[in-house]
Structure 1
Amino acid sequence: MAGHSKWHNIQHRKGRQDAKRGKIFTKVTKEIFLAARTGGGDPNVNNRLRSAIDAAKAVNLPKDKIETAIRKGTGELAAENIDEVFYEGYGPGGAAMLIEAATDNKNRTVAEIRHLLSKGGGSMGESGCVAWMFDNKGVLSFEKDKYGEEDILEAGLEAGVEDIVDDGDVWQVRCAPEDFTGVKKAYEDAGISFVEAEMTMVPKNTVDVDAETGRKLLKLYENLDDHDDVQNVYSNFELPEELIKELEG
């Protein structure tokens, strides 16, 4: 998602993902397949797979489909050849765009992603041009009206919490990938519920954009996210407060 900016949370509140359940099912199924293929079929030792299964359960993907995706990933069942690829580029205002995709045809997908970037006022970049701007992190979000910052920090600090960020109406907790499972368990054991928890790419620094540029970036983000092969889109733009209020309204 978009760097876990406030736009990410607005999307969830508006139920945008529920309106695209078919595509969401496809995306989470692919992620389970890829996670099992790269790290094995046991979620107890494969953090990526555990996170993928949790994401699938969150959107109510049927249990049999989860199990089938795992078995395809481990080679127990026949499966089509799917490659995991990253595309890098820039959007309006110079915002970095890191696009994660899963495709059975790299030539088709790269051409279509390049077209979407160009059409949206951006451009495709060389490999490595923006990836260095992001860190792979475990991210958990907690509702502010339920928990204070100190409560969140105290419950997760010993498990590996690195940072707590004020992100609008939620506290966003970040940790290293290897600590993700332990941090989740620490909060579950403490009876502290999170809105969501996932492995994602977090921008090291953000770019402030004006309202007009922000609208263009959101449109580009949505078009990329709607592409059948795109699993996630990460960016580093920060929307102005007036545009956030407009979107929330």
Structure 2
Amino acid sequence: MALQWNGLLSRKLSSSSSISSLPSWISTHIHGSATVTRTIWTVSPLSMGRRSSKIAGRKGAQDAKKAKLYARIGKEVVSAVKKGGPSPVSNTALATVLEKAKELDVPKEILERNIKRASEKGQEAYIEKVYEVYGFGGASMVIEVLTDKINRSVAAVREVVKDCGGKMADPGSVLFKFRRARVVNVKVSDADKDQLLSIALDAGAEDVIEPPVYEYDTEEDMSESYYKIVSSAENYSTILSKLRDEGVIFETDNGSELLPISTIEVDDEALDLNKELMSKLLELDDVDAVYTDQK
């Protein structure tokens, strides 16, 4: 796959740098001289003839992502209340979750509903689990689960993976291929590229990644795609604040995202099979996110 590099950084901290060719949704690695403090670059790959790889119904996908976020925060609220009570004053774990929910713009009624839910008879605390899967064409997947019934969640995940023709992987055999980061998603139509890069640089972002460009993209397709601002946890709130100050509409992650360190290019058949497997996994209530190293 040919990669088309664009020099999109509005300001450079050094005139010399070298960048490794990585796919668009992978954090680019900077190899500057000793005098370089930080440089942010973006990459926009041109994918020829891969229109079928685009996720249909982007708005539906974003709505589903938001629903998963709200569900995950709700589960975290329940777990925190079960462990330390409903008062954030005395329950530091709950206070932390509520602060996180505020940062991620989770509606207040969702928080209140789950605080009440935690006191219901029979409601158990939620436990985090990670399942690893081998997909098709050499691609791997990581499934994040937050569940109050471990046996239920693992059985559901195994059933979907088996039905779709994938294979469960041993713990640790896939996870090492990913790194965790905070990510802010900004729709292309909601931001000026140069303005976004300037905001990200000032706020200490690690990378700003352009969406992939497909051969048959229309203007509407492009306007519905997203920039990814990659950040450390320490700078995340600062980036959100600066975006709000500038009136830029954005979508947060669910607390973090897993970004693949390198990616696997697969053929169209494997791509469609992996897409179906991920879609089926995300339909499970216990599953909060599915990540892949597929290009």
What TM bracket, shorter-length normalisation? 0.7 to 0.9
8 Å contact from structure 1 (residues 136, 176) kept in 2: no
Pairwise CA distance, 1:221: 0.5
Distance 2:206 2:279 in 1: 30
Q: 1:83 to 1:166 in 2, by over 3 A?
A: same
Equivalent residue, structure 1, for 2:94: 41
Q: Which segment is superposed worse, 220-229 or 36-45?
A: 36-45
Distance 1:212 1:8 in 2: 10
1:160 to 201, 204, 209: 204
1:142 to 186, 205, 226: 186
Pairwise CA distance, 1:150: 2.7
1:94 has 2:149 as partner: no
Matched residue type, 1:115: E
Bigger fraction of residues in helix: 1
Distance 1:100 1:172 in 2: 20
Equivalent residue, structure 2, for 1:180: 236
1:227 has 2:271 as partner: no
Matches within 5 A, 1:1-249: 10=55, 13-16=58-61, 26-34=71-79, 40-42=93-95, 46-47=99-100, 49-51=101-103, 54=105, 56-57=106-107, 63-70=108-115, 77=119, 79-168=123-212, 169-194=225-250, 196-198=251-253, 199-238=256-295
Q: 1:102 to 1:146 in 2, by over 3 A?
A: closer
Matched residue type, 1:80: E
Aligned CA RMSD, in angstroms, stands at 3.5
| 5+ residue gaps, structure 2 | 1-23, 27-50, 85-91, 213-224
Matched residue type, 2:143: I
How big is each residue's C-alpha offset from its partner over 1:8-44, in whole Å with a ceiling of 9 and x where there is no partner? Answer: 9845624256589988864552254457779623359
8 Å contact from structure 1 (residues 153, 161) kept in 2: no
TM-score relative to the length of structure 1? 0.74
Distance 1:227 1:7 in 2: 24
Distance 1:180 1:33 in 2: 25
Distance 2:62 2:259 in 1: 21
**Secondary structure in structure 1 of the residue aligned to 2:288:** strand
Larger Rg: 2
**Secondary structure in structure 1 of the residue aligned to 2:262:** coil
**Secondary structure in structure 1 of the residue aligned to 2:203:** coil
Count of matched residue pairs: 224
Distance 2:200 2:66 in 1: 32
Q: 1:7 to 1:220 in 2, by over 3 A?
A: same
Q: Which segment is superposed worse, 224-233 or 137-146?
A: 137-146
**Secondary structure in structure 2 of the residue aligned to 1:167:** coil
Distance 2:259 2:159 in 1: 25
8 Å contact from structure 1 (residues 89, 124) kept in 2: yes
Q: 1:152 to 1:85 in 2, by over 3 A?
A: same
Equivalent residue, structure 1, for 2:44: none
Pairwise CA distance, 1:161: 0.5
**Secondary structure in structure 1 of the residue aligned to 2:252:** strand
